[in-house]
Amino acid sequence: MQRGWPPGQQVVLFDYAASRAGRVPVDLLGDYAGRLLTDGYEGYAEVVRRNGITHAGCWEHDRRKFVEAQKVQLKGKTGKADWALNQIRKLYAVEKQAKALAPAVRCVNRRAGHLSISSAPGSTNHWPRYCPKVRWVKPCTTWITSGSA
């Protein structure tokens, strides 16, 4: 497993494999037990379960599904997809503000911003009701409300 450089820094690792089998992430991640951000591919399920990994989902992948749902809403009507896209837009705004900050300050800013969005009336507690078939609802809302941003 590749660790960050310089020491203590995070790393983004892109590893190519000709197969998308579940054994690929098992082999790649070894005994890693931190956080894993993925696109939702089920091939990661085994290593997540086996290693006790905190599995985080990619909001951009889910956002696309809400955009598709929004396109089939009745004209002039506001629906669940609009609500979800608005929540994601708020999270993206927090990230945009945090991008230019030093890492320690960025973490504090993200935590405060994400928690203010998730604790607002009608916010994160509605994700499961509004988006019951989105795989990332539970992992992402848990991540946001835990302050692990």
The span from the CA of 88 to the CA of 40, in Å, is 17
- The strand ranges marked E within 15-145 are 35-38, 54-57
Max CA-CA distance within the chain?
A: 53
How does residue 5 score in pLDDT terms, banded at 50, 70 and 90? low
- The strand ranges marked E within 16-148 are 35-38, 54-57
**pLDDT, tens digit, 9 for 90 and up, residues 51-73:** 999 888 778 888 888 898 888 88
Give start and end residues of each alpha helix (H) in the chain. 23-29, 45-51, 59-71, 80-98, 103-119, 127-130, 137-145
How does residue 139 score in pLDDT terms, banded at 50, 70 and 90? very low
- Residue range 129-134: average pLDDT? 49
The span from the CA of 50 to the CA of 31, in Å, is 9
Q: Is the pLDDT of residue 122 over 70?
A: no
- Residue range 108-129: average pLDDT? 66
**pLDDT, tens digit, 9 for 90 and up, residues 8-50:** 677 777 788 999 898 999 999 999 998 888 887 888 999 999 9
DSSP state of 144: H
Nearest of 62, 57, 10 to residue 37 by alpha carbon? 57
Instruction: Classify residue 129 by burial, with Cβ atoms within 10 Å: 0-12, 13-18, 19+.
Output: exposed
**Rounded percentage of the chain residues whose pLDDT exceeds 90:** 15
- Residue range 92-118: average pLDDT? 83
* pTM reported for the whole predicted model: 0.61
DSSP state of 97: H
pLDDT score, position 149 = 38
Q: Do residues 145 and 127 make contact, with C-beta atoms less than 8 angstroms apart?
A: no
